[in-house]
Every structure is written in C-alpha cells, then in structure tokens.
Structure 1
Amino acid sequence: MTATSLDRLVSWFPAGSRVIVALSGGVDSAVVALAAKKALGDNAIAITADYKTLADEELATARKVAQEIGIRHLVIEYDELENPEFVKNDGMRCYHCRTELGQHLAGEAKKAGAQLVVDGTNIDDLSDYRPGIRALRENGVKSPMVELGIGKAEIRRMAKEFGLSVYDKPSNACLASRIPVGMEVTYEKLRKIESSEIIVKSIFGVRQVRVRDHGEIARIEVGRDELGRMFDPEKLDLLDKKLKELGFRFVTIDASGYKSGKLAVVD
C-alpha cells in the first residue's frame, strides 16, 4: 500500500518540470519533497522560510530531512512581524502568514524557472479551520496529497518505509499559534514561548508540547499519552522556577492535554 502511494505521488509531478517544495520540517512536506526528488531529480528544490516565528528546532529538522532526501535546499528569510496584519493576531493571522509565504515562494519559483510550487497539505488537514490553506491556494500553491486523497497515517507509513527521521515527528505550528487571538505577537513573546517549550521537553522528556502564553500565565499542553510524565513534584518545582525566570507569574498544566487549534477562533 505504501509503495503504491509513493508511486502515485511521484507520478503526480509532470515529467520534465521544475518544482519548488515548501519544506517546513514536518513529515508531510518531507514526503512530498521525497516524491519530487524521485520524480524530477535536480529539478526539485526544497525551500524553507525562516520568517521569525519558526522555532530553531524546526529549521534544523528541515535542514536534516533535506539532507536525508538529497534534495537541493534553500532557506529564505523575512520577518512576519513587519506585517501589521499578522502582528495584530486576529482570527485571520494564518491567512496573512500564508499569503506572505505564498508570495515569497512564487518569487523564488520565478527566479528558479519553476512551473510548480507545492506543499504538504493532506486530506486530514481539511477537517480543521485553516485559512492559511486558502491563502496558499490563492497564491498558486498546489497540494499533491490532497489531490490524491492521501492522509496522515499513509504519509507516516511512507516516511518510515523510506527511512525519513521525521516519520513519527509530532505535528507542530509556528510559535505565534501559542498566543491567543487578539493578543499582539511580539519578538519577546515568541522567544519566551520557544525557550519555555525547550525547558518542558528537557525536564520531562515529552515530545508534543505547546506553551500557550496568556500574559502572566503559561498554560502547558502535552500529548495525552504523555500527561503522566508531568506529575513529578521535584520536576514541577524546577519547571515552575525556570518559567518564572522567563517572566511568567503562574505556570499551569492543561489537564485535557494537547489538541490542535485550541486557540483558534472560528467565525
């Protein structure tokens, strides 16, 4: 089943074309990059955007997976916080983010002579409220896995079969997604969130982590299967100390665990 799925994905790319793959560092875009490389060889180029709300860990993962695939990899840099529509963090923040990303990718495609720009969106993503997907479509970005009806479980099987280190990597999102809608996005908040999540992972050994910044309160979400690791009194004391040193007054753990889109507002 997995090999057939990858064959379908490889065959999706038009022979002789040149393609830009938006490589985020997650498993979905990694599998698309793998298929593009198999289909088009050196005519496949992976691009990762470092837009100042991407965690350093994600950028490092993108570099690593590009090396595993053997695909040419470029990192482009720009600053999302220069966009006031993004910074105000209303319900359309992701739309503004992805509009800017789509425009940058289109520019890179033009420079490279690429006819296609693709991303890792899959059919399971369509069940959530994701205005960012609409923004990418409006800027000409295509999603092969949506067109082929491929979902997350199948993607992970393909990634594992072909030895990609991200095959079981937890899903992630930009650091701004940890800031509640209506609260302004700032460099200070982003760095505090990133540092907090590194601390949580290092103390408790958990993999799926979100530190939601509610002003004075840090609300920590971890995967439900990892919640049991969070209730070591000595480790909790250390966590409380470390996060208060970063500027939080109160440190809480969300008893319901991590769930995608908890801070999203659907109109």
Structure 2
Amino acid sequence: MTSGKTEVLLVGCGKMGGALLAGWLKGGAVDRAVAVDPGPGPDVFAGDARVTVCRSGLDLPAGFAPDVVVIAVKPQMMADAAPVYRDIVQRGAVVLSIAAGKTIAHFEDLYGAATPVVRAMPNTPAAIGRGISVAVPNARVTPAQRALCDRLLQAGGAVEWVDDEALIDVVTATSGGGPAYVFLLIESLAAAGVAAGLPADLAMKLARTTVSGAGELARQSSETAEQLRKNVTSPNGTTQAALGVLMAEGGVPDLMVRAIAAATRRSRELAD
C-alpha cells in the first residue's frame, strides 16, 4: 500500500472484472492494479504500465500490499481461488466481492472475523459506464474504505448502498441478471418480427434500436415507466392489442415475478 496512491488486486478478470478494470483505468481510479486470471481476460490490459497480469495468485509481485482485494471470480471457483489471498487480506486490505451468492460471513470465515468486507453486485453495462451496483458493508469497513469501494464501483456507473445484506440476493436477480432479460427481449422481439414477415437483419435492427432507445428515454424522462408505457398506447390501437397479450394473466408481469423469485432462490443457494 503506497501513501496517496490506490493499489488494487483484482482476482478474476473475466467479463465483469475486466469491465470494472477498464473503467478504473479510464477514469484514473487506480494507480496500480494486479489482475489475476489464468485465462486471456487480462491480456488486453498488458500494455498498460499500471497493470500487472498474473496467471496465479502465487505469482504476485513481491511486497505487493493493495488497498483493496476485489473478488470477481465465479462462485463455483471461489473455494480454489479465494483462500490464496488470506495473507494479503490480513495485511489490512478491504475485500470487495462481486461474486454472486457469496455472503459477507463467507469471507469473514475465510479471512478472519476482523476483515472489512463489502459485498456488491454490479452488472455488465459497467463495461460502458452505464451499469448500476448495489453494495453492503460489514461493521469493520471504515468510512475511507467505503469511499474507496464506492469510487471503484462508480467507474462502472451508478452505486446504491443498503444496510440489509439479504437484499443483495434480490439485487442479483433484478439488476445483476437484468441485462440478460433485456437481451432476451431483443431476441424475442426480432424473432417475432421475422415470424410476421420482416427480413431478419431489419427485424434485429428494429429490436435493438427500439429497446436501447426506450431505455434511454426511460433514463432521461421524469415520468414513470408506467406513464411512458401509456404514452405509447392509443385506446383500441395496435399497441394496446399487443399489450393485451403481454399483460394477460400469466403474461410478462407474472413471468417476471416468477423469474426474479427463481433467480433470488438460486443466489441464496450459492451461499451454501
């Protein structure tokens, strides 16, 4: 840990970890980052003098003592990956975990009860600075460590903090997986257009542009999503005919409730 400089150990440099690292470098949020990943993920950063790429946690630079250890590996890899960093965490680093399902207690058991831990759930639009993260700290996180984690998460977009860790499972289901649901909407909208007679390339262009444009309108508008929907829906018009199908019993609203419930259950199962 170097006075006045922010040093980060990133464990896992896949889609999410790589997106965060790109944001940190672009915004100047870190002075030095060591990225550990056995795969090709960190290779795109190898030309940046601020980044050291390691293939294993056993290959860290001598004397490296980061301010924060960011755990960004898949939950299924946690048992093999995380214990390697016990010594480096115990030198005073705050642990910032973005691993789905892994609780604060998991890291306290792994690294010691006195370990400062922030559990967070970002999402993949962080790659373009348009994501959102929700984070919860344990009682050992200092105000300075919370501010550091907030700054690192902000590199990927908006950040919200909660006090109830149980909400992170619901966040994982809602915004963590949310981009996949939106991409499915694009796929489905395009496929429906093709089924109705549109050329495939035109149908996909219409679907992608419509969904991204509607999302940006929702972001910028002061109106509720419900009102924005009503603004598009003329009485007895074509949109109302479609919504009559989508919003019928068992339709999109009911399906989304079931989907979020299923993802929340799975997030809690991953804690075991």
TM-score, with normalisation over the residues of structure 1?
0.32
Q: Which has the higher contact order (CA 8 A, sep 6+)?
A: 1
TM-score, with normalisation over the residues of structure 2?
0.31
The structure that has the greater radius of gyration is: 2
